[in-house]
């Protein structure tokens, strides 16, 4: 099922949300810092004016004056030009002794000052009244001995209040600007995220484009690794490697189809020609019998080739049914050498074996694999030559070598020796009576036993090496 959102869209949204979250955090910190700054500034101003009012009150008390209106005039003159500052002086009974406020306004907070709550000395009050936020500080002044002589109250309450509307208006403007700026940042972040995702995911789009263009006849497409980001380097390299394998597989399949057509055409043409010749004119029973024997031999070769091809197909699909049992390799190979001794003697070739090891495997399959290797070695060994079979083991596993002297095979042809119907040169005859599948079957059987089959050829000899991993019973050399 196709996803609702493309990878580009998801990355764009994630990038935009990340940038937006960072900006919102910065905005919150900015507003908090501004609010804290203005609070400290207001506190400094309130404290200063409160101290000023307290000094005027102390001076008024020391002078012994009973006219509080003169104190009001003095404070008004001292606070002239402070349009957001309020001063309130009360006695313990809540009677207003001085009320300083800007023209056209009244002392704020009088509803709770005259109520039960009253003023609390040393406290900072914040409240909203008629849409305006006020901040105040209250201090208690004790007249001392001067107050007793003038028959004054035991203490006075002095409150300084400031209108924070200017600061709040500034913060509100900042908030409004940040709101629109945040909206713009969000849109820009989405666009930049989309743009970055489009550029960053370009190799993936190229990968999809190349994948669409890959067909059985067009396997030469590859993705460039030069400008690929490090995160996509491994997937692109794996994709290119996969195409290399596919191209090589299709090439081998094409060659195999051509080879099998060639291999089957010869016996089929032979059958047709022998039958046509036999039918050209009447013959006696012996002649027909010879033709039938020749056709039978050709049919058996075809059946053997088809059976071996089916065997290889099963091995490639992992469908080989094996019955593993402990085997003594020396005994198995000696039995094969005894079987091939007449063929070797006919070609004046000597057979020699050395070493021994125990192996857990399918007896019939392993005999088939080693018989193919042994027959191949005997066939290409010149007269008076010697085929050498060596069995030994090391820390990595069990090794069986089948070597014969002969002309060197070029290294570039070594991997292809195990391909079906492949011949190193046109003069070489195929193994197992001409089917051309002997080495391919040997490798399939050894691979099924968790082993590997390799070849090395030089001017001295050609050696096929079967290596079995150490997952078998203990080995013993002899």
**What residues does each domain of the chain span?**
7-171, 230-316, 324-469
The listed CATH number (3.40.50.1110, 3.60.20.10, 3.40.50.300, 3.30.450.20) that belongs to domain 7-171: 3.30.450.20
Expressed in percent and rounded to 5, the helix, strand and coil fractions of the chain are 55, 20, 25
CA–CA separation, 87 and 80 (whole Å): 12
The alpha carbon torsion through 98, 100, 106, 107 (nearest 10 deg) reads -60
> How high is the pLDDT of residue 432?
40
> In sequence order, what are the beta bridge partners of 128?
133
| Dist CA 240 CA 164 (whole Å) | 69
pLDDT at 17: 86
Nearest CA-CA partner of 100 in 142, 57, 58, 131: 57
What was the pLDDT predicted at 373?
92
CB 83 within 8 A of CB 101: no
Q: Domain spanning 230-316: which CATH class is it, in words? A: mainly alpha
**Residue 474 confidence (pLDDT):** 42
| pTM, to two decimals | 0.48
Low-confidence ranges of the chain (pLDDT < 70): 1-4, 65-66, 114-118, 145-151, 216-217, 227-229, 252, 255-260, 262-263, 316-319, 420-436, 471-478
Q: Alpha-carbon distance 118 to 92, whole Å? A: 10
The span from the CA of 137 to the CA of 109, in Å, is 12
Q: Facing residues of 156 across strands?
A: 141
C-alpha–C-alpha distance, residues 126 and 163, integer Å: 10
Q: Which pLDDT belongs to residue 403?
A: 93
Q: Cα separation of 5 and 341, whole Å?
A: 73
> Which of 49, 58, 151 lies closest to 102, judged by CA?
49
Classify domain 324-469 by CATH number: 3.30.565.10
């Amino acid at each position: 099922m196709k996803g609702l959102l493309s990878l580009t869209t998801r990355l764009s949204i994630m990038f935009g949300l990340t940038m937006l979250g960072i900006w919102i955090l910065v905005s919150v910190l900015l507003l908090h810092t501004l609010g804290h700054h203005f609070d400290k500034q207001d506190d400094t101003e309130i404290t200063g004016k409160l101290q000023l009012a307290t000094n005027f009150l102390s001076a008024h008390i020391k002078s012994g004056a009973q006219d509080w209106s003169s104190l009001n005039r003095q404070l008004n003159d001292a606070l002239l030009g402070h349009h957001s500052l309020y001063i309130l002086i009360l006695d313990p009974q809540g009677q207003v002794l001085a009320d300083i406020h800007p023209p056209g306004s009244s002392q704020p907070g009088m509803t709770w000052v005259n109520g039960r709550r009253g003023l609390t000395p040393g406290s900072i009050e914040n409240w909203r009244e008629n849409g305006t936020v006020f901040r105040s500080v209250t201090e208690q002044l004790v007249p001392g001995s001067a107050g007793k002589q003038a028959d004054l109250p035991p203490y006075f309450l002095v409150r300084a209040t400031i209108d924070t509307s200017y600061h709040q208006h500034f913060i509100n403007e900042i908030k409004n600007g940040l709101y629109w700026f945040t909206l713009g940042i969000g849109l820009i972040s989405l666009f930049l995220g989309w743009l970055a995702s489009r550029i960053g995911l370009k190799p993936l789009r190229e990968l999809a484009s190349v994948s669409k263009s890959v067909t059985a006849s067009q396997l030469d497409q590859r993705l460039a690794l030069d400008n690929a980001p490090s995160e996509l380097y491994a997937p692109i390299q794996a994709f290119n490697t996969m195409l290399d394998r596919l191209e090589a597989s299709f090439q081998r399949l094409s060659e195999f189809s051509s080879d099998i057509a060639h291999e089957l055409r010869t016996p089929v043409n032979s059958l047709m020609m022998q039958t046509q010749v036999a039918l050209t004119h009447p013959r006696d029973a012996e002649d027909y019998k010879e033709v039938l024997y020749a056709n039978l031999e050709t049919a058996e070769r075809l059946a053997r080739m088809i059976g071996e091809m089916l065997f290889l197909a099963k091995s490639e699909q992992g469908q080989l049914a094996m019955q593993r049992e402990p085997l003594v390799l020396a005994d198995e190979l000696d039995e094969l050498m005894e079987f091939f001794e007449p063929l070797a003697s006919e070609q004046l070739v000597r057979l020699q074996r050395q070493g021994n090891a125990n192996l857990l495997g399918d007896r019939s399959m392993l005999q088939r694999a080693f018989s193919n290797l042994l027959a191949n070695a005997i066939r290409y060994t010149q007269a008076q030559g010697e085929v050498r079979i060596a069995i030994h083991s090391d820390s990595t596993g069990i090794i069986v070598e089948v070597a014969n002297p002969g002309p060197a095979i070029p290294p570039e042809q070594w991997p292809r020796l195990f391909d079906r119907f492949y011949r190193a040169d046109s003069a070489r005859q195929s193994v197992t009576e001409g089917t051309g599948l002997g080495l391919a079957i040997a490798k399939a059987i050894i691979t099924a036993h968790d082993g590997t089959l390799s070849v090395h050829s030089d001017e001295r000899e050609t050696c096929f090496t079967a290596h079995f991993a150490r997952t078998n019973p203990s080995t013993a050399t002899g």
